[in-house]
């Protein structure tokens, strides 16, 4: 089978009641406008107007724009004042959306047309627009409503400035570590009297962490299970709206080295959830039976496989 591609138009046409917000050009005699532009490259240029902190001109070709294949159509453009580009060193670039308007008295609405692609204005390209806004035959026929009351008409434009990107985030995932494992042990486990054993702080994936073991189980374990959790250290607890993804393997190690008990964690750490784990990680009966060595020591470890990191734009 052969393949084919279809070019998708970026031109959007619509009707709306609200007038243009950036600039309106009202003509009292369109025929005289046509005559007057014969000596000015077939175009009419408006006075300067301000929009988005820059100065612009609306350009209308009432008959034909020979330079831009606009024959037989009303053509409309916007030109940025080159002095606006020289405010900064080096000269700036301006990104803008352009929406052109033609008033229709019959509909009492504005015909609007725009290329939805944002246009890039700079010193090398100061003019953007549409060469085929409306067919001249359609526009010039008074029955269609664009010419009214003896030759009046109205054109307009909205120049919508796209501000520079200021809000962003970059999410990355660390998947390779020189030493992805952290281990700790509880000696004399059967005689351990504290409710919780907290490991020393350790670093992984650019964050500091601690392991917490509850030999008798936490409040949800009913005294029958070992509870096992991974906490972000207090110095690295997530801030408001921050989150960190962790994928890790929790293990209670078999003293004989052949049958470790393992659970896999895949969770997002947030301000509301700075710790994840299991209240019922391993039953105490099974632990006592198979996971204490001859010195009554319990050894556990966590192996990190993924930790995310996110860079954010400053909040102003």
Question: Which pLDDT tens digit goes with each residue over 198-215?
Answer: 999 999 999 999 999 999
Rounded CA separation 205/247 (Å): 11
Question: Which pLDDT tens digit goes with each residue over 277-299?
Answer: 999 999 999 999 999 999 999 99
- Compute the average pLDDT of residues 72-83: 93
- pTM across the whole model: 0.71
Contacts for 166 with CB less than 8 Å, ≥ 6 apart: 313, 316
Question: Which pLDDT tens digit goes with each residue over 81-129?
Answer: 988 887 665 668 899 999 999 999 999 999 999 999 999 999 899 999 9
Cα–Cα nearest to 209, from 246, 175, 253: 246
What residue ranges in 8-108 does DSSP mark as E strands? 11-16, 23-27, 44-45, 49-51, 54-61, 73-80, 94-104
- Of 49-53, 63-67, 268-272, the poorest mean pLDDT is in 63-67
Asked if 275 and 229 count as a contact pair (C-beta separation under 8 A), the reply is: yes
Q: What is the DSSP letter of 34?
A: H
Higher-scoring residue by pLDDT: 87, 135: 135
Q: What is the DSSP letter of 37?
A: G
Q: Residue 40 pLDDT > 80, yes or no?
A: no
Mean pLDDT of the chain: 91
Q: Please give the angle made by the CA atoms of 59, 62 and 63, to the nearest 5 degrees.
A: 130
> Which uninterrupted H or E stretch holds 258?
none
- Of 39-43, 158-162, 208-212, 269-273, the poorest mean pLDDT is in 39-43
Asked if 101 and 110 count as a contact pair (C-beta separation under 8 A), the reply is: yes
Q: How confident is the model at residue 1 (pLDDT cuts 50, 70, 90)?
A: very low
């Amino acid at each position: 089978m052969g393949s084919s591609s279809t070019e998708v138009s970026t031109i959007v046409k619509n009707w709306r009641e609200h007038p243009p917000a950036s600039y309106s050009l009202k003509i009292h005699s369109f025929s005289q406008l046509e005559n007057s532009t014969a000596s000015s490259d077939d175009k009419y240029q408006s006075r300067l107007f301000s929009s988005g902190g820059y100065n612009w001109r609306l350009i209308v070709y009432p008959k034909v724009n020979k330079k831009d294949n606009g024959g037989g159509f009303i053509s409309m453009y916007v030109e940025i004042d080159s002095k606006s580009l020289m405010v900064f060193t080096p000269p700036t670039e301006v990104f803008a959306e352009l929406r052109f308007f033609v008033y229709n008295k019959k509909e009492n609405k504005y015909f609007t047309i725009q290329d939805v692609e944002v246009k890039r204005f700079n010193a090398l390209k100061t003019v953007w627009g549409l060469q085929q806004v409306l067919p001249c035959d359609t526009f010039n026929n008074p029955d269609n409503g664009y010419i009214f009351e003896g030759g009046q008409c109205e054109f307009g434009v909205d120049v919508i400035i796209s501000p520079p990107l200021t809000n962003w985030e970059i999410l990355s995932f660390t998947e390779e570590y020189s030493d992805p494992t952290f281990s700790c042990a509880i000696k004399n486990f059967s005689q351990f009297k504290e409710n919780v054993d907290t490991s020393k702080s350790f670093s992984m994936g650019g964050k500091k962490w601690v392991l917490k073991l509850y030999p008798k189980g936490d409040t949800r374990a009913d005294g029958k299970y070992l509870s096992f959790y991974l906490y972000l250290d207090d110095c690295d607890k997530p801030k408001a709206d921050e989150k960190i993804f962790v994928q890790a393997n929790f293990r209670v190690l078999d003293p004989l080295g052949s049958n470790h008990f393992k659970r896999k964690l895949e969770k997002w750490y947030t301000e509301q959830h700075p710790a994840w784990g299991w209240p019922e990680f391993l039953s105490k009966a099974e632990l006592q039976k198979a996971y204490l060595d001859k010195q009554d020591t319990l050894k556990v470890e966590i192996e990190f496989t993924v930790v995310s990191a996110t860079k954010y734009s400053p909040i102003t």
